[in-house]
Chain A
């Protein structure tokens, strides 16, 4: 059809050009009556030929229901609509796209106001690049705590840098540094997407959000709402465990992750995840990640890290309910811990956590910028330790329970103000009041 149209259009254009040329013959001298008659005759002939060509073109054009003919472009006065031209969707788009997010916070422990801190916690710039319609780069660079130098607390990190390639309509592959599909936050960690000034304790202490590994992965998505992920990646390195510090007690896996920084890769890990969103407002899913953590280093016992979790989010109208449970295990830790006996923080055998959260979006006019929320969390970063013998085996840590209540105000699209109060039930040493400002674009 396209060729027919093009050929017909060319013929018509040639005829029109001939007519215009004929009409435009300069009137350098007044034509005589016979000359005028000749010209009129020529015009009549051209007109007959033009009509015949148009008729042929119409006859060769298929039924209109299959025609996605571009409309004529609007006049400049119609700029309110970017364009009324149809044609190839997405053609001519700049391949480079940008995005970013950031968060600032003020936190004031109620039991120890002297420890109040203000912080530019994260400043993130991301870029995407489309090499072609099936292949793209996704990248994200983050600066934490404003200044990164040997004498400052900040860090510069690459959070994501991977190539993604569409293998078909519903399956894609990726290779590089990417986020592990674990929990509700890890892949959606921007401050506008979670409740509270800081990320919840479970998806910080148990799932080490923002958790990324280097490797290759596959992702499938069906129109019925099932998304599955599988892949092989780098994993954890037990030799990073610092028994003298409290990092392992804050987040066992967060203290031994490698983030693809000269990551030891003698032992790789695998992950599987599934999420179902086929019912409007519902997301329900689970994931498991497992792999060796000794990385075959001399002196380290052969151990394995396994983390699994299940989650659900239900958003009926103005309400937003979330639930998540995660449990981790590090096997064969006894030989490692035995060598570290007497230190403050030994490697736990199991750790776990879960939370329930409810939020309600208050409507103001056409928007719903006010969101009060409440969350209850229970977690333990040292729920059990491998038996080392009488007097050497560390006691399990007590479970921690925290209640967080707060309010969020999205005062511009993508810009959010947050305030919350966190109350730990095992004493007020960690209780705190937080203020935050977050954005995403």
Chain B
């Protein structure tokens, strides 16, 4: 089998694809905060921002509960209101995948069970497979969010190992916050 002439058509096609104007979207951002709120709590009627202030004792408890954590960015919490009262809490969080931040959102129901997290932004070349609905669906309805272990409790995606492990650790952190600082508020609201 002899080689064929240069695949210049391929080169031309790919070059055109590279220089073609991209859609007018911020492509790394898959969901805005408002869109993530609607995706995680579609039945909600309101989201009230919550300003968290932990005592030193709560901070210590949080560190013990959440276990090893990747570098993280900003975290925000909202109390979620429904037609019949409080539905739970909505979080946005940012954890480093391999070298850059993954923005994701998580919902925790008033009984402590999890809702399927949403990936809001992914900025790295590799590991974007964590957007898979099947992978994210592993978190839904779980009661053991504060003790989740990557690979064992939340199955891994080969090729996206760090992203899977760090988002799982991040979820553990958020559930630990809920246990330490918000669970009482949720029970009061009920």
Residue of B nearest to A162 (CB): B125
Asked if B84 lies at the interface with its beta carbon under 8 angstroms from chain A, I say: no
Q: Which residues of B contact A65 (CB under 8 A)?
A: 37-38, 44-47
B132 and A134 contact, CB distance less than 8 A: no
Pick the contact of A278: B4, B20, B59, B132 (CB < 8 A). Answer: B132
Q: Which of A64-78 contact B (CB under 8 A)?
A: 64-75, 77-78
Pick the contact of A78: B11, B53, B100, B135 (CB < 8 A). Answer: B53
B133 and A223 contact, CB distance less than 8 A: yes
Binds B, one of A6-14, A33-41, A90-98: A90-98
Q: How many A-B contacts are there with CB distance less than 8 Å? A: 245
Q: Which residues of B contact A318 (CB under 8 A)?
A: 151-152
Quote the shortest CB–CB distance from A1 to chain B (angstroms): 10
Asked if B189 lies at the interface with its beta carbon under 8 angstroms from chain A, I say: no
Asked if A99 lies at the interface with its beta carbon under 8 angstroms from chain B, I say: yes
Asked if B39 lies at the interface with its beta carbon under 8 angstroms from chain A, I say: no
Quote the shortest CB–CB distance from A111 to chain B (angstroms): 35
Asked if B114 lies at the interface with its beta carbon under 8 angstroms from chain A, I say: no
SS class, residues of chain A in contact with chain B: loop
In whole angstroms, how far apart are the Cα atoms of A216 and B15 in the complex? 8
In whole angstroms, how far apart are the Cα atoms of A428 and B134 in the complex? 47
Q: Which residues of B contact A302 (CB under 8 A)?
A: 2-3
Quote the shortest CB–CB distance from B134 to chain A (angstroms): 5
B159 and A277 contact, CB distance less than 8 A: yes
A280 and B68 contact, CB distance less than 8 A: no
B135 and A280 contact, CB distance less than 8 A: yes
Q: Which of A47-69 contact B (CB under 8 A)?
A: 63-69
Q: Which residues of B contact A80 (CB under 8 A)?
A: 54, 58-59, 62-63
In whole angstroms, how far apart are the Cα atoms of A48 and B98 in the complex? 56
Quote the shortest CB–CB distance from A408 to chain B (angstroms): 14
Q: Which residues of B contact A73 (CB under 8 A)?
A: 51
Residue of A nearest to B41 (CB): A65
Quote the shortest CB–CB distance from A88 to chain B (angstroms): 8
In whole angstroms, how far apart are the Cα atoms of A216 and B68 in the complex? 39
Asked if B73 lies at the interface with its beta carbon under 8 angstroms from chain A, I say: yes
A68 and B32 contact, CB distance less than 8 A: yes
Instruction: Indicate with 1 or 0, residue by residue over B123-155, a CB within 8 angstroms of chain A CB atoms.
Output: 111101101111100100000000101011001
Quote the shortest CB–CB distance from B37 to chain A (angstroms): 7
Given contacts A68-B47, A169-B27, contact A366 B147 (CB under 8 A): yes
Given contacts A65-B38, A270-B7, contact A85 B132 (CB under 8 A): no
In whole angstroms, how far apart are the Cα atoms of A281 and B138 in the complex? 11
In whole angstroms, how far apart are the Cα atoms of A315 and B44 in the complex? 37
In whole angstroms, how far apart are the Cα atoms of A67 and B37 in the complex? 9
Residue of B nearest to A188 (CB): B159
Q: Which residues of B contact A93 (CB under 8 A)?
A: 73, 100-101
Residue tally, chain A, CB below 8 Å to B: 90
Q: Which residues of A contact B33 (CB under 8 A)?
A: 68, 86, 89
In whole angstroms, how far apart are the Cα atoms of A193 and B160 in the complex? 10
B32 and A82 contact, CB distance less than 8 A: no
Q: Which of A207-242 contact B (CB under 8 A)?
A: 216-218, 221, 223-225, 227, 231-232
Q: Which residues of B contact A294 (CB under 8 A)?
A: 3
Residue of A nearest to B49 (CB): A71
In whole angstroms, how far apart are the Cα atoms of A72 and B34 in the complex? 18
B159 and A283 contact, CB distance less than 8 A: yes
Pick the contact of B53: A77, A82, A283, A291 (CB < 8 A). Answer: A77
Residue of B nearest to A83 (CB): B74
The 6 closest A-B pairs by CB, nearest first: A292-B3, A166-B27, A71-B49, A281-B155, A64-B46, A68-B33
Known interface pairs A167-B17, A280-B134, A283-B157; 15 further A-B residue pairs with C-beta atoms within 8 A, sorted by A's residue number: A65-B46, A74-B51, A82-B72, A90-B29, A97-B99, A133-B26, A167-B20, A218-B17, A225-B129, A231-B14, A268-B6, A277-B132, A277-B158, A283-B159, A291-B3
Contacts A/B (CB < 8 Å), 20 sampled: A64-B81, A74-B53, A75-B53, A84-B50, A84-B51, A84-B77, A86-B49, A86-B76, A99-B98, A99-B99, A167-B17, A169-B27, A225-B134, A232-B10, A232-B11, A283-B159, A302-B3, A317-B152, A368-B149, A368-B151
